[in-house]
Structure 1
Amino acid sequence: MTTFGTPEPALSVRQVLTLERVLAGEPEVVAGAAQLDRPVRWVHVAEAPDVGVMLSGGEMVLTTGVLLAGDEEKQAEYIRSLHRAEAAAVVLGLGRAFPSPPDVMRRAAERCGLPMVVLHRPFPFAELTEEVQARLVRRKFAAVSLSESVRTALTGLITAGAPLQRLLDEIAQHSACPVVVTNLAHRVLATAGERPAVDDVLRDWERIARQAGGSEGDGWIRAELGGRGERWGQIMLCGYRGDTATGRLLADRGAESLVLHRMLGGNSAHTWEEQSAQSLLTDLVSGVVPARQLLPRARAAGLPVNRRTFVPLVVRDGEPAQLDRVLRMLGLPGLVAELADAATAVLLSLARDQDAEALATHFAARLRTESGSTKAVVAAADPRTAWDDVPAGLREAQHVADAVADSSAALDLPAVVRLRDVHLRGLIRLLRDDPHVQSFAERELDGLLCAADEDLLSVLRTYLATGRNKSRTAQLHHVSRPALYRRLEAIQGRLGVDLDDFEQAASVHIALLAHDAQQG
Structure 2
Amino acid sequence: MTTTLEPLEPALSVRQVLNLERVLAGEPEVVAGAGQLDRPVRWVHVAEAADVGVMLSGGEMILTTGVLLAGDEDKQAEYVRSLYRAEAAAVVLGLGRAFPTAPDAMRRVAERCGLPMVVLHRPFPFAELTEEVQSRLVRRKYAAVSLSEAVRTALNGLITAGAPLQGLLDEVARYSGCPVVVTNLAHRVLATAGERSAVDDVLRDWERIARQAGGSEGDGWIRAELGGRGERWGRILLCGHRGDTAVGRLLADRAAEALVLHRMLGGASAGTWEEQSAQGLLTDLVSGVVPARQLLPRARAAGLPVNRRSFVPLVVRGADPARLDRVLRMVGLPGLVAELAPGATAVLLSLARDQDAAALAAHFAARLRSETDLGTAVVAAADPRTAWDEVAAGLREARHVADAVADSAPALDLPAVVRLRDVHLRGLIRLLRDHPHVQSFAERELDGLLSATDQDLLGVLRTYLATGRNKSRTAQLHHVSRPALYRRLEAIQVRLGVDLDDFEQAASVHIALLAHDAQQR
- TM-score relative to the length of structure 2: 0.87
For 1:416, what is the secondary structure of its paired residue?
coil
| Matched residue, 2:520 | 519
For 1:211, what is the secondary structure of its paired residue?
helix
Give structure 1 stretches of 5+ with no counterpart. Answer: none
For 2:129, what is the secondary structure of its paired residue?
helix
Q: CA deviation at 1:235?
A: 2.5
Query: After the TM superposition, which of the residue ranges 373-382 and 182-191 deviates more from structure 2?
Result: 182-191
Query: After the TM superposition, which of the residue ranges 317-326 and 505-514 deviates more from structure 2?
Result: 505-514
For 2:392, what is the secondary structure of its paired residue?
helix
For 2:371, what is the secondary structure of its paired residue?
helix
Question: Cα 1:210–1:410, aligned 2, differ >3 Å: closer, same or farther?
Answer: farther
| Matched residue, 1:9 | 10
For 1:218, what is the secondary structure of its paired residue?
coil
Question: Cα 1:371–1:5, aligned 2, differ >3 Å: closer, same or farther?
Answer: farther
Alignment of 1:474-493 (within 5 A): 488=493, 491=496
Measured in 2, the distance between the counterparts of 1:193 and 1:367 equals: 39
Q: CA deviation at 1:454?
A: 7.0
For 1:111, what is the secondary structure of its paired residue?
helix
Q: Is the 8 A contact 1:409 1:465 kept in 2?
A: no
Question: Cα 1:480–1:120, aligned 2, differ >3 Å: closer, same or farther?
Answer: closer
Q: Is the 8 A contact 1:445 1:512 kept in 2?
A: no
| Matched residue, 1:442 | 440
Q: Is 2:51 the counterpart of 1:53? A: no
Give structure 2 stretches of 5+ with no counterpart. Answer: none
Question: Cα 1:339–1:269, aligned 2, differ >3 Å: closer, same or farther?
Answer: farther
Alignment of 1:403-422 (within 5 A): 403-407=404-408, 411-422=412-423
For residues 32-62 of structure 1, give each alpha carbon's deviation from its aligned partner in whole angstroms, at most 9, with x where no partner exists: 3332221111111223343322221111122
For residues 426-457 of structure 1, give each alpha carbon's deviation from its aligned partner in whole angstroms, at most 9, with x where no partner exists: 23323434xxx322441475354463587887
Alignment of 1:68-83 (within 5 A): 68-83=69-84
For 1:68, what is the secondary structure of its paired residue?
coil
Q: Is the 8 A contact 1:313 1:394 kept in 2?
A: yes
Q: CA deviation at 1:472?
A: 7.2
User: Which one-letter code corresponds to 1:64 in the other structure?
Assistant: T
Alignment of 1:362-377 (within 5 A): 362-377=363-378
Measured in 2, the distance between the counterparts of 1:155 and 1:61 equals: 42
Question: Cα 1:202–1:483, aligned 2, differ >3 Å: closer, same or farther?
Answer: closer
Q: CA deviation at 1:366?
A: 0.7
Question: Cα 1:274–1:474, aligned 2, differ >3 Å: closer, same or farther?
Answer: closer
Question: Cα 1:307–1:74, aligned 2, differ >3 Å: closer, same or farther?
Answer: farther
| Matched residue, 1:181 | 182
Q: CA deviation at 1:465?
A: 4.3
| Matched residue, 2:220 | 219
Q: Is the 8 A contact 1:161 1:267 kept in 2?
A: no
Provide the aligned length of Structure 1 versus Structure 2.
513
Measured in 2, the distance between the counterparts of 1:473 and 1:259 equals: 53
Q: Is 2:321 the counterpart of 1:323? A: no
User: Which one-letter code corresponds to 1:439 in the other structure?
Assistant: H
Q: Is the 8 A contact 1:161 1:266 kept in 2?
A: no
Measured in 2, the distance between the counterparts of 1:466 and 1:331 equals: 36
For residues 449-488 of structure 1, give each alpha carbon's deviation from its aligned partner in whole angstroms, at most 9, with x where no partner exists: 4635878876775665455778877998866779857855
Alignment of 1:132-281 (within 5 A): 132-265=133-266, 271-281=272-282
Q: Is 2:132 the counterpart of 1:131? A: yes
For residues 370-416 of structure 1, give each alpha carbon's deviation from its aligned partner in whole angstroms, at most 9, with x where no partner exists: 14443200011111223232222222211211121213586211100
Question: Cα 1:485–1:37, aligned 2, differ >3 Å: closer, same or farther?
Answer: same
Alignment of 1:352-501 (within 5 A): 352-407=353-408, 411-433=412-434, 437-443=435-441, 446=444, 448-449=446-447, 451=450, 465-466=466-467, 488=493, 491=496, 500=503
Measured in 2, the distance between the counterparts of 1:263 and 1:307 equals: 40
Q: Is the 8 A contact 1:460 1:491 kept in 2?
A: no
Query: After the TM superposition, which of the residue ranges 113-122 and 476-485 deviates more from structure 2?
Result: 476-485
Measured in 1, the distance between the counterparts of 2:318 and 2:166 equals: 28
Q: CA deviation at 1:130?
A: 0.6
| Matched residue, 2:97 | 96
Measured in 2, the distance between the counterparts of 1:185 and 1:317 equals: 30
For residues 244-276 of structure 1, give each alpha carbon's deviation from its aligned partner in whole angstroms, at most 9, with x where no partner exists: 333333222222222222222358997222222
Measured in 1, the distance between the counterparts of 2:189 and 2:215 equals: 18
Measured in 1, the distance between the counterparts of 2:374 and 2:460 equals: 26
Query: After the TM superposition, which of the residue ranges 474-483 and 305-314 deviates more from structure 2?
Result: 474-483
For 1:288, what is the secondary structure of its paired residue?
coil
Measured in 2, the distance between the counterparts of 1:261 and 1:393 equals: 35
Measured in 1, the distance between the counterparts of 2:286 and 2:364 equals: 21
Measured in 1, the distance between the counterparts of 2:247 and 2:362 equals: 53
For 1:417, what is the secondary structure of its paired residue?
coil
Query: After the TM superposition, which of the residue ranges 56-65 and 268-277 deviates more from structure 2?
Result: 268-277
Query: After the TM superposition, which of the residue ranges 476-485 and 231-240 deviates more from structure 2?
Result: 476-485
Q: CA deviation at 1:507?
A: 6.7
For 2:336, what is the secondary structure of its paired residue?
strand
For residues 117-165 of structure 1, give each alpha carbon's deviation from its aligned partner in whole angstroms, at most 9, with x where no partner exists: 3323222111111111101101111111122222222223333333222
Question: Cα 1:269–1:49, aligned 2, differ >3 Å: closer, same or farther?
Answer: closer
User: Which one-letter code corresponds to 2:436 in the other structure?
Assistant: Q
Question: Cα 1:468–1:492, aligned 2, differ >3 Å: closer, same or farther?
Answer: farther
Measured in 2, the distance between the counterparts of 1:202 and 1:424 equals: 44
For 1:166, what is the secondary structure of its paired residue?
helix
Q: Is the 8 A contact 1:474 1:481 kept in 2?
A: no
User: Which one-letter code corresponds to 1:405 in the other structure?
Assistant: A
For 1:374, what is the secondary structure of its paired residue?
coil
| Matched residue, 1:65 | 66
Measured in 2, the distance between the counterparts of 1:184 and 1:385 equals: 30
Q: Is the 8 A contact 2:446 2:509 kept in 1?
A: no
Measured in 2, the distance between the counterparts of 1:227 and 1:418 equals: 45
User: Which one-letter code corresponds to 2:368 in the other structure?
Assistant: L
For 1:339, what is the secondary structure of its paired residue?
strand
Q: Is the 8 A contact 1:315 1:401 kept in 2?
A: yes
| Matched residue, 1:351 | 352
Q: CA deviation at 1:358?
A: 0.6
Q: Is the 8 A contact 1:448 1:456 kept in 2?
A: no
For 2:67, what is the secondary structure of its paired residue?
coil
Q: CA deviation at 1:317?
A: 0.9
Question: Cα 1:397–1:410, aligned 2, differ >3 Å: closer, same or farther?
Answer: farther
Question: Cα 1:278–1:443, aligned 2, differ >3 Å: closer, same or farther?
Answer: closer
Measured in 2, the distance between the counterparts of 1:41 and 1:476 equals: 79
User: Which one-letter code corresponds to 2:352 in the other structure?
Assistant: A
Q: Is the 8 A contact 1:31 1:117 kept in 2?
A: yes
Question: Cα 1:293–1:111, aligned 2, differ >3 Å: closer, same or farther?
Answer: farther
